[in-house]
Amino acid sequence: MKLSILFSILTLKSVFATRFIIQLTNEVELHKYTNKFLREFGINSDEAQVELYSVGKNFQAFSAILEQDHLRSLYNDLNIAAISIDRQLEPQEMIVQKDAPRHLTKLLETEAGDNEFVYDSTAGNGVDIYIFDTGIARNSPGLSASRIHDMPGMPGPPIRDQEILEHGTAMSGLIGSPAFGVLKKCNLIDVNVGDENGKVFMSKVLKGLNLVQQHVKHTNRPSVINFSYCTLKNAILNSAFDNFPRDVPIAVAAGNYKQPGCSFSPVGCQRNKSLLAFGSLLMNDDGITLSDFSNYGSCVGSYAPGEGLLTFGIPDTSRPNSRDTVIIISGTSGSSALGAGVIGYYMAQGIPGEEVVDSLRIVQPNLTSYGKNNGINILKMA
């Protein structure tokens, strides 16, 4: 760890000054250490855009725009647990077609030949789904605007292009839309972790985790996080997710890289047993196949449909009053969204989140085969 940090400091000269995330050990107090560090180097907290993060009992960190000399001083500091560039995370979804044909609705069948979706009449009423994404389009006709809520403290940046909202809107459609959602009456909490260009960075994710854990304590409602982004394995990001309170399940996308999921974050989190990574399946008349883009392996705890999923996008601004916003998506982002909906469905019935996740987790999930009918355990609703 120390060598890798030093290597980054010595070789990444092109990024200075840029935003870094500094994780502290539990032996120091976050505010005191950060203030001391800023004073010693004469750093203006506003100019450096300093932010503090605390997740669970054992994760604390701060981020700031720092220069090379600042980082050199931190390398030998025993109070530092890890240092990382504010890495960008990627959405795990590919939009492949608009104007979805109706026959594709059969891709979400629960049984072959049966196109009915039977669900409890409460449909998740009173359950909060926190959607970590780049925003949700309130004007999407397929979503109930009254059930979409801003995350307090994270209103989101000014949007330069409505298309930035498409990914978060699509995930919301799979989770809570009346037409395509698993949990049709849930509350969709818009945790906007994107910037004005729709890019997602670790620092904003850490801020979101920090605020959500506080919000859940205040509301005391059944809550689930959907996180459809990932990046290459990062110790700080994994630590934050590992330390998030266990009573709030986290559904994450396994990743679309056709590689072992343990090589990515937060997929590779091992300590938080309430975090469940979802891989993608193709389901058709020929059987069930692991999607040829899906990550796999021991860190991927469950699998759900992830190809040809019907959901809602953003309204077509070139066509006034257009209500034609149905799109088809593929990717483990969609698998994660469906997984979050199913977790919320059972929590609405009074089952604790940890128990729900444990029941959905595959006992031996080390799947590496991409062949058909290979014994894949599928996410199902009883």
Query: What residues are labeled active site?
Result: 133, 167, 333
Give the CA distances from residue 368 to residues 258, 262, 280, 295, 310, in Å, rounded to whole numbers and listed in that order. 9, 13, 12, 9, 27
- Report yes or no: 264 and 275 within 8 Å, Cβ to Cβ: no
Give the CA distances from residue 324 to residues 188, 313, 314, in Å, rounded to whole numbers and listed in that order. 22, 9, 9
- Report yes or no: 343 and 354 within 8 Å, Cβ to Cβ: no
Q: Identify the sign of the CA torsion 336, 342, 347, 352.
A: negative
Beta strand 250-253 with 275-284 is: parallel
Question: Any residues with CB less than 8 A from the CB of 364 and at least 6 apart, and which?
Answer: none
Give the CA distances from residue 176 to residues 5, 114, 247, in Å, rounded to whole numbers and listed in that order. 42, 22, 21
Task: Enter the tokens of residue 203.
Answer: 């620092």
